[in-house]
Amino acid sequence: MEAQELPCVLIDCIGGKHGVYEDHAEFLKERFCLITMKEYLENKNFLGKKIRAIYMWYHKPVINEELLQSLPNLKIVASSGVGIDHLDLSLLSSYGVKVSNTPFIVSTDTADLGMALMLASSRRLVEGHQMAISPDTEYFPADWLGAEVSGATLGIIGMGTIGYKVAERAKAFEMKILYHNRKQRNKEEERAVGATYCKKIDDLLQQADFVMLVVNLTPQTHKLIGKRELQLMKPTAILINISRGLVVDQDALVEALQNKVIKAAALDVTYPEPLPRLDIFFKFNRSECVCCKIRKSL
């Protein structure tokens, strides 16, 4: 009996800086016929009709109307990450193409990173490390130890899966937890982590010592934190962003840090990513901004 032909899946490439990991590709090859963009472009007329799916890795291949028009039998775009803000959903829908992602895949890791950024920025770990290894350090000043996390007020904007995991961790630090979300969690969930719901985001911003952003990027959350919101925060407060770079008005954040409207920012995400090496963020004094890019953008 003739073996059934495997469904053809378009990928950007295998290996290199942004290609599908080679061991991952070997796993996929057991179930699919992988076609790289290079192979596809060399034989579009033949391969275009065979491709049934696109597997996106590091947001590649880039999907536009020209590509969609050349793939008449495309059924689904599978994005290997949580966010789908890099996809034009309306365009895909107009071609009858479905979209899938991998929700919750990095929820625990992202919550851990949120706590790491809070600790690093409040206890000034980056600055302390730089002083410890600097050949110019002769003594440690008494004012570099930073602020306490235990007992402080954490405001979580976005109490989904990741936001709730952050609250679980913050409870162990005996923090007062405020949260703002589209929908209020049920009372049992609130009691479990000791969280108080703020219907208005302004109430949270005015009270929190740490404001952590844990929302999806949507038209409603684009530049959710701008000049007005930053001015509502305490001058001693720290902004932590583990969601998407565009959730924050970056120009407004730079201005707020320069004018000491807030104390610091701890950023897992920026726009663009990575930041240009001459970006103004790299010119801040060490105590003004902790800019960390640890998690891969998914």
Residue-level pLDDT, tens digit, the chain, 298 residues: 455 789 999 999 999 988 999 999 999 999 999 999 999 999 999 999 999 999 999 899 999 999 999 999 999 999 998 888 889 999 999 999 999 999 888 999 999 999 999 999 999 888 888 888 989 988 888 777 788 999 999 999 999 999 999 999 999 999 999 999 999 999 999 999 999 999 999 999 999 999 999 999 999 999 999 999 999 999 999 999 999 999 999 999 999 999 999 999 999 999 988 888 777 777 665 444 554 443 333 3
Task: Give the pLDDT of residue 18.
Answer: 87
Q: How far is CA 212 from CA 24, 113, 167, 193, 250, in A?
A: 33, 11, 10, 16, 15
The dihedrals phi and psi of 290, each to the nearest 5 degrees, come to -105, 115
d(CA 263, CA 185): 30
Q: How far is CA 76 from the centre of its chain?
A: 24
**Helix, strand, coil shares of the chain as percentages rounded to 5?**
35, 20, 50
What burial class does residue 118 get, using C-beta atoms within 10 Å of its C-beta: 0-12 exposed, 13-18 middle, 19+ buried? Answer: buried
DSSP 243: S
d(CA 285, CA 182): 36
